[in-house]
Structure 1
Amino acid sequence: MESDTKGASSQFASDKSSVEYESQAELYHEPKVSNLRFALVFFGLILGFFMAALDQTIVITALGQISSEFNASNDIGWVGSSYLLTMSGFQPMYGIFSDILGHKTVYLIAISIFLLGSVLCGLSSSMFMLIMSRAVQGIGGAGLITVVLIIVTDVVSIRDRAKYQGVLGVALGTATVAGPLIGGAFADANLWRWSFYMNVFIGLAAIIIIAFFFQHDMYKNHREPSTLPMKSQLRQVDYGSLLLLMPGAICVLVALQTGGEELSWTSPLVLTLFGVGALALVCFVLSEIFLIKHNPVLPRRMVTCRTTMAVFLAQFAGSASDYAIMYFVPLHYQMVRGDTGVQSALELLPFFLAAVTAGLVSGILISKTGYYRIYLWSGCCFVVIGASLLQMSTVDSNVIHQYVYLAIMGLGVGLCKQSFIIAGQAAVPDKDLSLATSHGQFFRILGGAVGISISATIFRYNIARGLDGLMKKYHMHLSLKNINMIKNLPRPIRIQVQTVAVEAIDRIYLFAAISAGVALIAVVFIKHFDLWKPEHEETEEIDRKQNGHYSSD
């Protein structure tokens, strides 16, 4: 009787907080699929996921050769940015259409678009064509990342997801490290186009595996099927909101990319992009909350769910911190130690090895125990500590110490990455799993793009201020547009220029620590949901306990 009273009061509290999420008992149903077939399908999913992650970094060490071939160094930054822009903007779309057209169909469409973009990149005859082709790749890449996570959500019970997402984390970490190495190897052999052509072979293998072996009987989380024909479902899609969200996000990201580098922050174009993007995003949020009653892109019940919004904020802030470190640590070593692009990429190994190990271990432990918030808390704390230690770096800092600090950060990132996904999915019913996953990835990539832009602005400002003082002191012109010039400077001046560079990058590490701190604050508002339920429990009992536990945290 007492437990029933507590459950009722908890349910009342849930209603009072405007949270409308329902029973999640269906998350624990187990279909029977052979281990070999499951492993084969999961491998096919990993191939697509790996390709999309690989192409985020594979061009980094090939940019020099690409710019030389096309004689267009001023536009070289867009080779990477165009991919991230469309990858971010198209994330929410895949979450919606995967539920209507089917995950398998949308995955195959996404990988086909990605392969088309890859072929066009390899055939590019100008910088403009390459940038546009990278944008096509990004459209497909958005689906590969999002739909793979959605499929894993549907073929694996919630208590086991962390384990399999840990494997995806290994693929992500491997791709991030391997990207610059593979791209650099192709560039050194004057074969940079094969950085894109190689995707065709990987992608075709993934298509064959998924097309023939991934069938509907693999789904563990059977959602309530719609009784409407597919055409009717497609007509009910909230296209107006998508046309506000996607261009709005892209406008803001383009403004962040161009502002302070190609154009002044106060230039009419940058201000217009910010204004249009912000207006579109505000209109999107207002329309979702007050106007759209059926099939919204961002359901009101999701906006009013404290845990869901806290997860989105934490993913955004945490990703801003991660990307700032990944992009500027290699630059640190290139400037201070004279590393090549490939060598500087290897300097990130402590970060990625720690992240991969922590991701695997935490995934297994989450699957065993059902507890995940401890990894969110501890992970964010490790990132704050690691970034804070890194921001005390000097020109003469012990490189072993820096590797340890990077490993601490990587440990934190590994603990958090799939735990954020699990926390977001655990807070919603089956009908919102695709939306929760796609929006989470949208905020993750958006946070990364914003983090890179803010870090670049911090770097440019501090470099300009530091070099201006040195130029006045030595009455000579100094520029870091070509960082290779540092090693040719007289030693006294070289040390001072390196000091300026390190101090500028230290400010970026401080920004990373602050961003991780914001993520830590957001984690405080994430509720815990019990992932571990004995399989013999009755559905009604699971339903009652789940609803009560939801609001009692």
Structure 2
Amino acid sequence: MSRAQSAPAVDGAESPPPRKQAVPVFIGLMLAMLLGTLDTQIVATAMPTISGDLGGVVQFAWVSTAYLLTFSVATPLYGKLGDLFGRKRVFLFAIAIFLVGSALCGAAGSMTQLIVFRAVQGVGGGGLTVSIFAILGDLFSPREGARYQSYATATFAVSSVSGPVLGGLITDHLGWRWAFFINMPVGAIALLMVIAFLSLPDRRGTPRVDYVGIVTLGGAVSCLVLLTNWAGTAYAWGSTVIIGLAVAAPALGLLWFAAERRAAEPVVPLRMFGSSTFTLSNIVAFIGGFISIGALNYLALYLQMVTGTSPQNAGLLMLPMTAGMLLATMTTGHFMAKTGQYKWYPAASMATSALALYLLSTMTSSTSFAVASAFMAMLGLGAGLSQQVTVLASQSAVEPRDIGAATSTVTFTRMLGTSIGASALGAILNNGLADHASNLSHGASISPEAVRRLPPPAQDAYASAFADSLSTVFLTALPLALAGLAFALFLKKLPLRSRRDRRAGGPDRSAS
């Protein structure tokens, strides 16, 4: 491909922006990160109150599905759009759309309106995380940015646990509409700080947008997200809808692949997969998403259904997992910035996660909180050892013009692993509970609050059924963690690209 056909040139790409921008810009970016990650948790906590107020219990699931669908479709697109049109411009667009969607959600008068407005909000939310990590990739080389990206990952970890607690407080004391309105002041501050302090090189030339790639990729992602969310829950596995989605997803994927091979500026440049580092990083990211977030969801279920803990206290009891993730993230960020080495962190992540999954599978209704906390902390350590590493390794393995596309791709593969993991592990849980159906007086579809109101013998039956089924869930994820370990061991022992390497204008060719 000739230079005229490549991405629009970046003025001053050889000279990263001055370091004096780092602190105010970083604060603005972290506020935006907090905005996106807290929102999902806060809204999930407020949803029972929202559905009761708006009278749309039947449409309950569509509120989260609409957001996840547009979020998933937008995620792989934002990185390339930032490469073409400029990172700052795309980030400002994403946060503006997110805030408009938040305001509309807060003012919604019906569940139908809320579903539509959540879809709008998802279009903006999909660009926040991708744009944040891509901007950090512009401001710093992968080696220098390791420390800053560890702070971003830590922000995500903290908000994931604090979100349910904050959501409960907002819903109880301010009303559910403030679950959305709370985004406005925080987002406005982030928006103003980025506008005022972030200065990135402009893109020259006329961008060549890959419209066919955008449409086919968006269609494939939509089918895949709906498939993983509906199969076995909204629709039976053998239903026409699920079979149709299962056929349409790979068909659209093949059309996208064919379009990318001919596009002048593909939305996901296939040349990136010529690097083994980039490809392996995406595989590890997928497995990490499958394990860490999938297990996180079922740890909350263990605490509520097996130990009888309230949702709010369950969030507090998961602090050991957050602490483990924070410790691992901050430590790896420090050492990667100091040494430039990253090879062994993904392998350690998968090995630690595998051990944690085995230990979690041994938990029963009589397991003490101290022991369960230790196991959860180990799972947090496993997640924190690789979460930011896959992004940094991917950014280091591609050319500067592809940093946005690389960031969005590895972010999307992790999210895809999360979505598929939640669906697959959910199916395993349901099968396990079906085996205990004769012992469950009210069936498996019962809330934790309802279980706590049952007589003690019935409570014990539910605790035993969920403990056994969750043990199977954790054991099922164990082989995948071991597969992730095998893939991680094939990563080459290469240094992260430094500022000096970045000025050379290309990827680390030895990573190919």
Q: TM-score range by the shorter chain?
A: over 0.9
User: 2:467 matched to which residue of 1?
Assistant: 502
Equivalent residue runs for 1:9-24 within 5 Å: none
What displacement does 1:355 show?
0.4
Query: Does the alignment pair 1:347 with 2:317?
Result: yes
State the TM-score, normalized to the length of structure 1: 0.86
- Equivalent pair of 1:369/1:532 in contact (CA under 8 Å): no
The equivalent position to 1:240 in structure 2, one of 195, 212, 223, is: 212
Instruction: Provide the rounded CA distance (Å) in 2 between the counterparts of 1:172 and 1:127.
Output: 28
Query: Does the alignment pair 1:393 with 2:358?
Result: no
Q: Which amino acid aligns with 1:66?
A: I
- Equivalent pair of 2:14/2:503 in contact (CA under 8 Å): no
Query: Does the alignment pair 1:519 with 2:503?
Result: no
Instruction: Provide the rounded CA distance (Å) in 2 between the counterparts of 1:90 and 1:283.
Output: 18
CA deviation map 1:303-355 (0-9, x unaligned): 33322121111111110111112211111111122222111111211111110
Equivalent residue runs for 1:205-224 within 5 Å: 205-216=189-200
What displacement does 1:262 show?
1.7
Larger radius of gyration: 1
Compare 78-87 and 50-59 and name the one that shifted more: 78-87
Query: Does the alignment pair 1:409 with 2:379?
Result: yes
What displacement does 1:479 show?
4.1
SS at 2:386 equivalent:
helix
CA deviation map 1:403-437 (0-9, x unaligned): 10110110111111111111111111112111111
- Equivalent pair of 1:359/1:418 in contact (CA under 8 Å): yes
Equivalent residue runs for 1:95-244 within 5 Å: 95-189=79-173, 191-216=175-200, 228-229=205-206, 233=207, 236-244=208-216
**Overall identity of the aligned pairs, in %:** 29
- Equivalent pair of 2:45/2:164 in contact (CA under 8 Å): yes
**Structure 1 residues 95 and 534, CA, compared in 2 at 3 Å: closer, same or farther?**
closer
Query: Does the alignment pair 1:550 with 2:483?
Result: no
What displacement does 1:543 show?
8.1
The equivalent position to 1:427 in structure 2, one of 397, 400, 410, is: 397
What displacement does 1:470 show?
1.8
Instruction: Provide the rounded CA distance (Å) in 1 between the counterparts of 2:503 and 2:134.
Output: 24
Query: Does the alignment pair 1:295 with 2:272?
Result: no
The equivalent position to 2:257 in structure 1, one of 282, 285, 300, is: 285
Equivalent residue runs for 1:257-272 within 5 Å: 257-272=229-244
* Gaps in structure 2 of 5+ consecutive residues: 1-11
- Equivalent pair of 2:396/2:497 in contact (CA under 8 Å): no
Q: Which amino acid aligns with 2:322?
A: F
Query: Does the alignment pair 1:470 with 2:446?
Result: no
Compare 67-76 and 308-317 and name the one that shifted more: 67-76
- Equivalent pair of 2:83/2:402 in contact (CA under 8 Å): no
Q: Which amino acid aligns with 2:511?
A: Y
CA deviation map 1:255-307 (0-9, x unaligned): 22122112111111121122212211122123324xx1411122232233322
Equivalent residue runs for 1:290-329 within 5 Å: 292-329=262-299
The equivalent position to 1:82 in structure 2, one of 66, 70, 91, is: 66
- Equivalent pair of 1:324/1:508 in contact (CA under 8 Å): no
Number of aligned positions between the proteins: 501
- Equivalent pair of 1:28/1:157 in contact (CA under 8 Å): no
What displacement does 1:28 show?
8.6
The equivalent position to 1:59 in structure 2, one of 27, 43, 65, is: 43
Instruction: Provide the rounded CA distance (Å) in 2 between the counterparts of 1:543 and 1:303.
Output: 15
- Equivalent pair of 1:426/1:529 in contact (CA under 8 Å): no
- Equivalent pair of 2:106/2:178 in contact (CA under 8 Å): yes
Instruction: Provide the rounded CA distance (Å) in 1 between the counterparts of 2:240 and 2:344.
Output: 47
Q: Which amino acid aligns with 2:64?
A: G
What displacement does 1:190 show?
5.9
Q: Which amino acid aligns with 2:205?
A: L
**Structure 1 residues 477 and 530, CA, compared in 2 at 3 Å: closer, same or farther?**
closer
Instruction: Provide the rounded CA distance (Å) in 1 between the counterparts of 2:63 and 2:78.
Output: 23
- Equivalent pair of 1:319/1:447 in contact (CA under 8 Å): yes
- Equivalent pair of 1:27/1:158 in contact (CA under 8 Å): no
Q: Which amino acid aligns with 1:228?
A: G
Q: Which amino acid aligns with 1:485?
A: A
Instruction: Provide the rounded CA distance (Å) in 2 between the counterparts of 1:414 and 1:530.
Output: 20
Equivalent residue runs for 1:528-539 within 5 Å: 528-531=493-496
- Equivalent pair of 1:318/1:515 in contact (CA under 8 Å): no
What displacement does 1:533 show?
5.8
State the TM-score, normalized to the length of structure 2: 0.92
What displacement does 1:510 show?
2.1
- Equivalent pair of 1:321/1:511 in contact (CA under 8 Å): no
- Equivalent pair of 1:122/1:197 in contact (CA under 8 Å): yes
* Gaps in structure 1 of 5+ consecutive residues: 1-25, 220-224
RMSD between superposed Cα atoms in Å: 2.3
